[in-house]
Structure 1
Amino acid sequence: MSDKKFERRGLGRGLSALMADVNMAPAGEEAAPRRAEMRVPVEQIAPNPDQPRRDFTPDSLNELAASIREKGVIQPLIVRKHPSKDDFYEIVAGERRWRAAQMAQLHELPVIVREFSDTEVLEVAIIENIQRADLNPVEEAMGYRQLMERFGHTQERLAEALSKSRSHIANLMRLLQLPPEVLTWLREGLLTAGHARALITSVDPVALAREVIEKGLSVRETEALAKKVPGGAKGNVRTNNRSTEKDADTRALEGDLSANLGMNVNIDHKGEDGGTLTISYRDLDQLDKLCQLLSGGN
């Protein structure tokens, strides 16, 4: 998506702007009339198949359903006309409310119909979920990655638009380097984001994650174990026995490169002697992606 469209859509103004709850017209211009909401039978509303949220916690859905039974759906869903079914609508934002409303046995839901392309639907859905602040760390990190890969947003731009720090975005995206088993435990809440960050530097993150879960280790204990390597030596040891402690700038650069590539990056800087930069890929798909990036391919 072009920078022009990014600015025009007002990403940095948050959900209220996306949902037409505020006046988006520049100062001195007449605001366009707000599109009125309408009520649509629940069976004529379909979820977005590309919805970035995959986990809907039963307890939170039950709580929302109870609230809806008492007060109804206060905030309308944002929908668009279904791309392949007449008289049907596809959810852009509000699938959780749609699910809870069915549990509450509502027959109609308030909606606001907007005209969005497939790309815009995905972008708005990701932003809406991130700003709800109840995603698990893996979902949030995947949302950032989608926004960067599919829409060309940089970490700096996302940080400003979503009122997050750039280090927060970079650290979360680094978690996606972890093996699928560890990411599953993180999604399930068996590990915290702090535990997961410590596991990134581990020789065997899966085995260490199991030990953390079984023993109920703290983040600090996990960090200490992650620094150990076979033979009792400490991590980050150079073969020439020179001091191995990396400065903050080097660690930050490793984090930024890792987050942007979605792969683990290690920098071994040796001062005037140069150094090495190592990129570790998880599978052949990542290797193919890396080759495309290095060759200037799309």
Structure 2
Amino acid sequence: ELEKLVGKYSNSDIVTEFESLSNLQPVREIELSNLTLFPLFNENYYQGKNMQILKDSIQTNGITIPLFVYQYENKNYIVNGVKRFLVAKNQNMKTLPCIDVQGSIEDVIIYVTNNMLVNKDNGLVQGYAFKVLMDKFQMSEKEIQRLTALSHGQVANLLRLLKLTSAVKEYIIEGKLSTAKARLLITFSSKDQIKIAKKMFNLSVRECENLVRKIRLGDYLVPEEEYFTYKREGDQIVVRCSDDSLLTSIENFLKELEK
């Protein structure tokens, strides 16, 4: 049983064992409209520019690797192939090749979480999965640590990433900011998170740690910058804003105008 592998084997061994068993199952076509992401996935954390290579490949060759699907709560849940599914949905594909995976819900949870680590998915993907494990599946942080072989600090930092401002989250999704760098921003205000993050793009993690240390000691002042600008481009007005609360207010105002 897959659950017995936890604590005995590495993350990659667990994933390999699960996939080896699943690949023995036949491939079947499932309508895209009948597929949904497993609850541990949040599609918003996958929509970065780094998916372009996959988009080009699928545009040319279609889906060549089947998705793994688990039937749970009367739904076909995708447990492997999130990016392929999102690209296929964007390209209005009708059906996708799928393999039905076998096992308990516990087996699937173990597989999905360990596969995220093996694939080195961004920290938001992992943090969101851990939050769902706690909220929906009533798992404790200690159980997640055991499940993933991560330390208390690692699990806590991934969960805290979800509290970052949306602009910084976008930097993570686009690959501009690593998890190791992003976790250094958690205690700063939304405005400072954005300004400091931009300074981090071309620095090493060690250099980022030194930068944050200097800021906290007052040896380095974060430069002020315009966080709200707008300009007219033909029949459009382009607004750029790095303050989440102000951006929400503008959005709500525009929605009122539409009524």
Indicate whether the TM-score tops 0.5: yes
Task: Give the drift of 1:225.
Answer: 4.4
Task: Give the drift of 1:79.
Answer: 1.0
Amino acid at match of 1:37: V
State the distance in 1 between where 2:63 and 2:169 align. 31
User: Is 1:196 the counterpart of 2:176 in the alignment?
Assistant: no
Q: 1:91 aligns with which of 54, 60, 78?
A: 78
Q: 2:160–2:183: 8 Å Cα contact kept in structure 1?
A: no
Q: 2:184–2:209: 8 Å Cα contact kept in structure 1?
A: yes
Query: Gaps spanning 5+ residues in structure 1: where?
Result: 24-33, 160-165, 233-298
Partner of 1:80: 70
Correspondence list, 1:40-79, <5 A: 40-51=30-41, 54-57=44-47, 59-79=49-69
Q: Deviations over 1:20-43 (max 9, x none)?
A: 2699xxxxxxxxxx2222222323
Correspondence list, 1:277-296, <5 A: none
State the distance in 2 between where 1:184 and 1:52 align. 17
Partner of 2:241: none
Q: Deviations over 1:127-186 (max 9, x none)?
A: 2333222x222333454675973782546x734xxxxxx67x845743544682358615
Task: Give the drift of 1:113.
Answer: 1.1
Q: Deviations over 1:37-90 (max 9, x none)?
A: 2222323323224425541225344432331232232221111235236xxx22
The alignment partner of 1:20 has SS state of: helix
Q: Provide TM-score, normalisation by structure 2.
A: 0.58
1 or 2, which has the higher helix percentage? 2
Q: 1:185 aligns with which of 163, 168, 172?
A: 168
Q: Deviations over 1:201-242 (max 9, x none)?
A: x7x56565344246568452652443565787xxxxxxxxxx
The alignment partner of 2:64 has SS state of: coil
Partner of 2:196: 212
Partner of 1:253: none
Matched length: 208
State the distance in 1 between where 2:89 and 2:124 align. 27
Correspondence list, 1:253-292, <5 A: none
Q: 2:157 aligns with which of 150, 155, 174?
A: 174
Higher-Rg structure is 1
Partner of 1:124: 111
The structure showing larger relative contact order (alpha-carbon pairs under 8 Å, at least 6 residues apart) is: 2
Query: Gaps spanning 5+ residues in structure 2: where?
Result: 220-259
RMSD of Structure 2 on Structure 1 (CA): 4.3
The sequence identity of aligned pairs, in percent, is 18
Taking structure 1 as reference, are residues 2 and 171 closer, same or farther at Cα in structure 2, changes over 3 Å only?
A: same
Amino acid at match of 2:124: V
State the distance in 2 between where 1:179 and 1:76 align. 30
Amino acid at match of 2:41: Q
Q: Provide TM-score, normalisation by structure 1.
A: 0.51
State the distance in 2 between where 1:176 and 1:5 align. 25
State the distance in 2 between where 1:67 and 1:57 align. 16
The alignment partner of 1:19 has SS state of: helix
